[in-house]
Amino acid sequence: MQSFRNALKFFCLALLSFVFVAACYNSEPTVSPPIPDNGKLVTHALGETVVPLNPQRVVVLTSNALDNSLALGIKPVGSSFSGFAQRDGYGNFPAYLQDKTEGITNVGHADSPSLEKILALKPDLILGSKQTHQAISKQLSQIAPTVLTEYPSEKNLFLHGEALGKIQQAEKLRQELDNRFQEFQQQMGEKLATTEVSVLRFRPYRVRLYMNESFAGYVLDRAGLQRPTAQDQNKSYQAISIEAISAMDGDVIFYFQDNPENSQSTKIMQHPLWSQLEAVKKDRVYEISFDTWFLGNGILATNKAIDDLFQYLIKI
C-alpha cells in the first residue's frame, strides 16, 4: 500500500510539473477576454460578438478590411499585409492605399499576424476573415472583440460597417458604387453584351486565368461584361500552360503581375501564338494593377477597378 501511495504521489507531481512547463512555454498572449461596457451584438462568420458602439483602436487582418475601414472613415491602428514573397512591394500595404496608411502599424502577414504586436496596440476591435483566422480566433478574442467575415464577399462592406458603427456610410458607399456601374453600362451601350474580357495573372513560373469567383470576376459581372468561354467558370482561377495560350484570348485582355521583374509575361508575349490572339491583333491588351485587382477586394479597390473599365473599354 505504501508503495502504491508513493507511486501515486510521484505521478501527481510529474503531472503538475508537465502542466507548469507547458504553461511557461505557451507564447500566446494571456489576457482576460474584454467585454465592452456599452456595446452591440454583431453576428459574423463564427457566431455573435459584442463590440463597442464606436471602436477607436481597430486592428485589421485582411486587405479587404483595411480597404473597407479606410473607406468608412476609420483609420486602423494596425493592419496585416498580404501577398506572396515574390510580390513587388512585399511586406507593404497595397500601393493604391499608400496615401491613407501612414502611421498604421504593420502587424505581419495576414496568414500569420503577430499576436504580440496586436496585443501591444491595445485594440478594442479586431477584423479578420474566417478563411484565414479561424485557427487563431480564440487568441484574437482574448485580446479584443473579434469579427470575422466570410472572405471574400461583397457583403463584407456591410459587416465591417456594422462592426465599426458606420452602417449608414456603408449604405452610401454601396449606392455610389451601384451608380458608377450603371453609368458604365449606359456608356457602353450595345457593346456591353458583346465585349468579352479576359483576365490573366502572370506569375514567376505560371499563368493563371481569373474566373467568376475571383474579385476580378465579381467586378466584371457587376459591370455586366461578358467572359470568354474558357474563363466563364464558377471558380476563382485556373493555372494554364504556355500551350494553352488560346484560352487567354478575348475581345480585351487585362493582365496583372506579381512582380514585373520576375514574370511569365515576356515569355508568353514573345511566343508566336500570342500574336495570333484577337485582342493582341486589335491592340486591346492592358496591364492593370496587381494590388487593385487582386490584393484589395474592398470598396476602394472596386472603384479603382471601375476607373480602369472606363479608361480602357468605353473607347473600344
In the block, cell 482576460 appears at: 32
Mean predicted confidence (pLDDT) in 187-215: 95
pTM above 0.85, yes or no: yes
Question: Over the stretch 65-91, which tens digit does the pLDDT of each residue have?
Answer: 999 999 999 999 999 999 877 777 889
The pLDDT of residue 3 is 45
Amino acid at the residue 257: Q
pLDDT over 90 percentage in the chain: 78
Nearest partner of 119 among 206, 44, 30, 1, judged by Cα: 30
**Cα separation of the two ends of the chain:** 94
- Residue 4 contacts by C-beta under 8 Å, 6 or more apart in sequence? none
Q: Distance between CA atoms of 246 and 271, rounded to whole angstroms? A: 12
The pLDDT of residue 293 is 96
Region of 103 (left: φ > 0; alpha: ψ -120 to 50; beta: rest) is: left
Confidence bin at 296 (pLDDT 50/70/90): confident
Taking CA 67 as the corner, what is the angle to CA 231 and CA 148, rounded to the nearest 5 degrees?
A: 85
The pLDDT of residue 279 is 98
105, 122 in Cβ contact below 8 A?
A: no
- Residue 97 contacts by C-beta under 8 Å, 6 or more apart in sequence? 66, 67, 70, 296, 300
Q: Distance between CA atoms of 184 and 224, rounded to whole angstroms? A: 9
List the beta bridge partners of residue 252: 197
The pLDDT of residue 310 is 98
153: pLDDT strictly greater than 90: no
CA of residue 298 relative to chain centroid, distance? 8
Q: Are strands 197-202 and 252-257 parallel, antiparallel or unpaired?
A: parallel
196, 250 in Cβ contact below 8 A?
A: yes
117: pLDDT strictly greater than 70: yes
The pLDDT of residue 34 is 60
Q: For the stretch 197-231, what's the b/e string if a residue is b when 16 or more beta carbons lie within 10 angstroms of its beta carbon?
A: bbbbbbbeeebbbbbbebbbbbbbebbebbbbebb
308: pLDDT strictly greater than 70: yes
Nearest partner of 30 among 148, 147, 138, judged by Cα: 138
Mean predicted confidence (pLDDT) in 292-313: 96
Question: Over the stretch 1-41, which tens digit does the pLDDT of each residue have?
Answer: 444 444 444 444 444 344 333 333 344 444 445 666 679 99
Prior bond of 152 cis (ω within 30°): yes
Question: Over the stretch 226-242, which tens digit does the pLDDT of each residue have?
Answer: 999 999 999 999 999 98
The pLDDT of residue 79 is 98
The pLDDT of residue 76 is 98
The pLDDT of residue 290 is 94
Domains annotated on the chain, with CATH? 39-170 (3.40.50.1980), 187-313 (3.40.50.1980)
Cell matching residue 40: 452591440
The pLDDT of residue 152 is 65
Q: Name the residue with higher pLDDT: 26 or 134.
A: 134
